[in-house]
Structure 1
């Protein structure tokens, strides 16, 4: 079922994101938050006006990486979903390639079509992805 497919991502898929965001938020100077508190900002306002805009690159990086990892997952969907009509893309194209006659043209066309969502997600978030990667590499 779909629940069996999504359960590992709901239960344990956030660990990498928590560690990545924790490291990022620890690198933000505490002086920014203290200055906002002195100016009378509430914790929610500090989050909304300071922390969230600063964290957009790391959140976009995390979203892109999670999407690509989930989209390319092969073993877990192969094990949990037995109904071929519910199979995810990677398992379906692989099964299509091994159905008797090995005609690589349609298989490669399937992989090309299947890579379009990955390219679109990366192109839409590339600016934030590069900023997120660079924020961990540069010292402020």
Structure 2
């Protein structure tokens, strides 16, 4: 089977995924071979968005459950260097680039340190634009 045929087959599998979990499973089936075994995709909440509303921005999630709970409970979205870098760059980058590109404060350093506790040491982030023009941040770790 040619690479083009495999790509078409993969696209077909994604189109027939009936749940967000099935989409995550298919995406991670490809990326895990490159060491990217966790996935989060969603719109970025505005700074100060109440914690109770932050999960409403999540479209796809295959992060460790405890990490997501900690991330929301500690309001890490407002201090995450990956999120900050995405807002500025709006182009693909490695997480380590985000830590190098912005001034790391105590809160930003805490986010990245806590992520490492959940084996999320490095990753790749990139933006996608929805049909209605919203930016969705995709992050693979």
State TM-score, norm by structure 1.
0.23
Q: Which has the larger radius of gyration?
A: 1
- Whose relative contact order is higher, 1 or 2, with alpha carbons under 8 Å and at least 6 apart? 1
